[in-house]
Amino acid sequence: MTGLYDIEARTIDGKTRKLGEFSGKTLLVVNVASKCGFTPQYAGLEALYRKFADRGLIVLGFPCDQFGHQEPGSEAEIAAFCARDYGVTFPMFGKIEVNGEHAHPLYALLKKQAPGLLGTEAIKWNFTKFLVDRHGRVNKRFAPAETPEAIGAEVEALLAAA
């Protein structure tokens, strides 16, 4: 299986990035949506990013429209919304699928490394979070209802352990 750092993803502005650019960093990978009950978590994600970026945390946002059509906009609309409404400065990527036969390779890897409740791999909803260590291994998977504020101590502990 391909390692996390070998995977490529298209950014929200259409460029291709190899996740290897983030080698040595702690990652918080999140499937996001603009019209979801959890959308206000963008503020907490940005706060975590700003608080811990100098210690090596990178938040990666992956818009996904697989849950209740909650990310209907174009990538330009998503980028504008995130910047305008939440001041997002962390890296945002193009729309992807996280489940099914067209799931992005990143999510296939994350789900395999950190299955959800009762061992199921499927992502249940937007704002599922994966905390990835500096070596590209998933440390923990967090359910959508677990807010960025609630997981801050675990993020900080992983940063401290590096």
The predicted pLDDT at position 116 comes to 72
Could you say which of 28, 36, 98, 106 is catalytic? 36
pLDDT of residue 32: 97
**Directed axis angle between helix 148-161 and helix 41-52, to 10°?**
20
Show the domain range for 63.
4-161
CATH of the domain at 113: 3.40.30.10
Q: What is the pLDDT of residue 114?
A: 81
The answer to whether 58 touches 92, Cβ cutoff 8 Å, is no
- Total domain count, the chain: 1
pLDDT of residue 162: 66
Q: Does residue 82 have an active-site annotation?
A: no
pLDDT mean for each 10 residues of the chain (162 residues) = 87 96 97 94 97 97 96 94 96 96 95 77 92 94 95 95 76
